[in-house]
Amino acid sequence: MLINNHSSPTLAVAQARSRSLYRDWYRAAPEICQLYALDVPYPTLRAKIRQIFDRYAHVKDIQAIDVLIAKSHMEYQEFVNVWKMPSQVMRYFESEQVPPAHTHSLPQPHTTHSLFPPGPPRAELVYGEIPVRIRIPIDLQQTEC
């Protein structure tokens, strides 16, 4: 399918092009599942396609819609021509899988609190010239009898 990257004259034309592209994606979902041997059923892929299109449903700027259509069409061609690896395809479903473990981030430089809570350190190591304090949680400390 050849697509012109011309500017849509009106919002109605841009929305019609978007609907046409959505239909192309919707029709290709079973073929994409088969080509990539995905372990997700094609209705799940169709739901993901709908979710991605709905994410941009609020856009009303004609030029922005034209850019989104062009990018989506390029992505569609990469899928249909099997130019993507299965791992790249499965990245679209990462958000529905296991949520990422909570990572502790360091405080921002403008904060005034210390990295270490008050109290005596349990152990202190020296790494190069930087002392590193390690705290042992209370439930892991051995009590003296």
Considering 4-13, 44-53, 122-131, the range whose residues carry the highest mean pLDDT is 44-53
Greater pLDDT, 83 or 144 = 83
For 131, the 3-state DSSP assignment is: strand
Q: How many helices (H) and strands (E) does the chain have?
A: 4, 2
On whether the CB atoms of residues 44 and 92 are closer than 8 A, the answer is no
Angle between helices 42-55 and 11-36 (to 10 degrees): 150
Instruction: Judge whether 119 lies within some domain.
Output: no
Instruction: Judge whether 136 lies within some domain.
Output: no
Instruction: Judge whether 34 lies within some domain.
Output: yes
For 134, the 3-state DSSP assignment is: strand
Task: Over range 69-93, report the average pLDDT.
Answer: 93
pTM: 0.63
Instruction: Judge whether 115 lies within some domain.
Output: no
Give the residue among 69, 52, 60, 89 at the shortest CA–CA distance from 3.
69
* Confidence band for 76, pLDDT divided at 50, 70 and 90: very high
Task: Over range 63-70, report the average pLDDT.
Answer: 94
Residue length of the chain: 145
Instruction: Judge whether 70 lies within some domain.
Output: yes
Instruction: Read off the pLDDT of residues 99-135 as tens digits, 9 standing for 90 and up.
Output: 666 666 655 555 555 555 555 555 555 555 555 555 5
Domain boundaries, position 69: 11-96
Instruction: Judge whether 57 lies within some domain.
Output: yes
Task: Over range 45-49, report the average pLDDT.
Answer: 95
The number of folded domains in the chain is 1
On whether the CB atoms of residues 121 and 133 are closer than 8 A, the answer is yes
pLDDT at 7 over 70: yes
* Confidence band for 94, pLDDT divided at 50, 70 and 90: confident
Instruction: Judge whether 109 lies within some domain.
Output: no
pLDDT score, position 133: 58
Residue 63: C-alpha distances to residues 7, 12, 33, 77, 122 (Å):
7, 13, 32, 21, 60
Instruction: Judge whether 37 lies within some domain.
Output: yes
